[in-house]
Amino acid sequence: MTESDNPSPAERAAAVRRAELDRIFGEVLPETTRDERGDGEDERRGDDWYQRNRPPHHEG
């Protein structure tokens, strides 16, 4: 058994805390980077997207 197979109590506690935070808030970093993803419409949101999705109370 190596040291990595038997983590210390502090390492186990840190892993549990990270897992709990990920469960609550989601992962901070995406699985892929922007340059690995295609240029989908979601990535190219322009003014027209914001105009279509503007809440009614912001009309004016």
Domain spans in the chain, listed from the N-terminal domain onward: 3-58
27 pLDDT more than 90: no
Which residues in 1-60 belong to E strands, given as ranges? none
Measured between alpha carbons, how far is 57 from 60 in angstroms, rounded to an integer? Answer: 8
Question: Mean pLDDT across the stretch 27-31?
Answer: 71
Question: Mean pLDDT across the stretch 24-31?
Answer: 76
Segment 6-17, tens digit of pLDDT: 899 999 999 999
Q: Distance of CA 50 to CAs 18, 22, 35, 42, 44, Å?
A: 34, 29, 23, 11, 11
Segment 32-56, tens digit of pLDDT: 887 887 766 555 677 888 888 888 8
